């Protein structure tokens, strides 16, 4: 390979900052040490594959969209819904991605611009599944925080559930709401 990959290397270091970037909305719920953006994106990608498979969409593409959906937050930070009220939506994810991919090989830069555009345009079945996964992951995290004693997380649970649009996503959300956050452990240990 003769192409210069320096811009890609820089981006990989930049992407690593998401491991340390906290999801700020949880602070309003009283969570002292909330999950990172990278934590959120990882589980969102898993959920996207599940919803996409159940919806008859491409699970790999949905996961690809989900894993990339918050990469712009390396530049903006995680701006919660209240904060967005004051930024007037000036930070468009497509513009951020265009800046992030400057200097990358064009085949890669185009692919990354396209994946963010697809997610933001909300038109493909995979984008819809990935967006539902984003909401469902927030809801699941809210349940976990609520079960840890953060009662104010209920607002995030309710709001996230209300924004899920696919049939499979809504059914999965209902299953999550009917399941305790440690039921998986009890089942694995053979407890009742």
85: CB partners within 8 A, 6+ apart:
none
Coil, strand or helix at 37: helix
- What is the reported pLDDT for 131? 98
Which option is the CATH number for 6-188: 1.20.1290.10, 3.40.50.2020, 1.10.10.10, 1.10.3210.10?
1.10.3210.10
Could you report the average pLDDT of every consecutive run of 10 residues in the chain (192 residues)? Answer: 89 96 93 96 98 98 97 86 72 89 95 96 97 98 97 96 98 97 95 87
Angstrom distance (rounded) from CA 21 to CA 73:
8
Domain assignments of the chain as residue spans, ordered by start: 6-188
- Sole residue written with tokens 């840890």: 148
Q: Cβ distance 100 to 74 under 8 Å?
A: yes
Inter-residue contact 91 to 72 (CB < 8 Å):
yes
Q: What is the pLDDT of residue 3?
A: 85
Residue 89: per-residue pLDDT: 61
Q: Give every CB contact of residue 49 below 8 A, 6+ residues apart in sequence.
A: 59, 60, 62, 63
């Amino acid at each position: 390979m003769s192409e210069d990959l320096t811009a890609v290397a820089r981006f990989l270091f930049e992407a690593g900052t998401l491991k340390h970037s906290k999801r700020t909305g949880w602070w309003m719920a009283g969570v002292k040490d909330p999950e990172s953006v990278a934590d959120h994106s990882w589980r969102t990608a898993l959920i996207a594959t599940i919803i996409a498979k159940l919806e008859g969409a491409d699970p790999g593409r949905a996961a690809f969209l989900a894993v990339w959906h918050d990469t712009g937050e390396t530049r903006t930070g995680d701006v919660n819904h209240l904060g967005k009220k004051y930024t007037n939506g000036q930070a468009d994810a497509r513009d951020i991605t265009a800046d992030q991919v400057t200097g990358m090989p064009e085949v890669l830069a185009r692919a990354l611009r396209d994946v963010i555009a697809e997610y933001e345009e909300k038109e493909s079945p995979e984008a819809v599944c990935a967006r539902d996964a984003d909401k469902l992951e927030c809801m699941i995290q809210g349940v976990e925080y609520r079960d840890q004693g953060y009662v104010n997380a209920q607002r995030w649970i309710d709001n996230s559930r209300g924004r899920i649009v696919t049939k499979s996503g809504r059914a999965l959300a209902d299953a999550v709401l009917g399941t305790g956050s440690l039921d998986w452990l009890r089942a694995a240990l053979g407890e009742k």
